[in-house]
Amino acid sequence: MSSPAQILDHPYDPKRSGFFYHLNAGLRFFFAGYSVLFRHPSLLALSLVPIALTLGALVAIVSGCVWVVGWLMGPELPPLSGDLRLFAQTLVFLVALFVSYLLYLPLARVLLAPFSEAISRRTRTVMGLKPEPAAIGWGRAMWEGAKLVGLQVLLVVVGFALGLGFPPIAGPVGLTIAICFVSLDYLDIPLSVRGLKLRQKLSVIGKNKALAAGFGAAGYLTLITPIVNLLSLPVGVIGATLLVDSLDSGNQPSKSIAKTY
């Protein structure tokens, strides 16, 4: 059975230096989730419920955001026709789509937490890894997700303030926040399964910034790709589980993530 660090085309070495090496590894860990998902029918079956819920959630959130953004912008826009109307409608849709994805991941992290953690545990099982402790329960899983959402709300407020104060950086700041959201949401799941608290999880992610950034960028690209984004939740959870377990391979057992705290 391949270890998480060996599941990539080139085995990952967490001790190796180089920002771009770890950034690229983060990208590859996310996409490795696809091959593991389709290689193991039990994982695919376990993912059917969150996939269906993801479809319903994305349709509902995007539709709602399109209506809200259009309603807010409608009174301010002069009567338009032809190409200008199409451009305005397209702009409204893109803004709503971006807002929707910012809303989807935090909601999914809380409401689908039990399913996500079940997928993470199953991933460890099919990879032949030592099982994690007993499940922490639906309530605790959702509470861990809620704490993360609180942190994300703070990030949004800070990003919004920066965008208002310095408009030219609004775009880059928004993209950075979106990538951080994806990285935090997915990596939080296998770390929560291990029983780590929020401060401890942030410490692990902070020590592996390039790896987390690459993973988040791949996840964000998947989320904004129609149809493919339906698989984003199970693929992201599987990839995050592989990534977190790969960090143990570069440490002595007494210093592994599972025992650091």
Contact between residue 23 and residue 211 where contact means Cβ atoms under 8 Å apart: yes
H runs (alpha helix) in the chain: 19-39, 41-73, 82-111, 113-126, 138-165, 170-193, 198-206, 209-223, 232-248, 257-260
- C-alpha–C-alpha distance, residues 85 and 215, integer Å: 37
Q: 3-class DSSP state for residue 79?
A: coil
| Assigned token pair, 220 | 């964000």
Contact between residue 116 and residue 50 where contact means Cβ atoms under 8 Å apart: yes
Type of residue at 209 = K
Question: DSSP of 14-39, one letter per residue?
Answer: TT---HHHHHHHHHHHHHHHHHHHHH
pLDDT for 109 equals 65
Contact between residue 234 and residue 54 where contact means Cβ atoms under 8 Å apart: no
Contact between residue 167 and residue 218 where contact means Cβ atoms under 8 Å apart: no
pLDDT for 254 equals 31
pTM above 0.75?
Answer: no
Radius of gyration for the chain, computed over Cα atoms and rounded to the nearest angstrom: 19
Contact between residue 183 and residue 175 where contact means Cβ atoms under 8 Å apart: no
Residue 83: CB atoms within 10 Å = 8
pLDDT for 115 equals 84
pLDDT for 218 equals 94
Residue whose structure tokens are 């692990």: 204
* Termini Cα distance of the chain: 28
Question: How many residues are recorded in the chain?
Answer: 261
pLDDT for 94 equals 67
Which residues have a Cβ under 8 Å from the Cβ of 167 and sit 6 or more positions away?
Answer: none
pLDDT for 93 equals 67
pLDDT for 76 equals 53
| Assigned token pair, 94 | 């893109």
- C-alpha–C-alpha distance, residues 217 and 23, integer Å: 9
Identify the segments of the chain with pLDDT beneath 70. 1-10, 65-66, 68-107, 109-110, 130-145, 148-149, 152, 156, 159-160, 162-164, 167, 169-171, 249-261
pLDDT for 240 equals 95
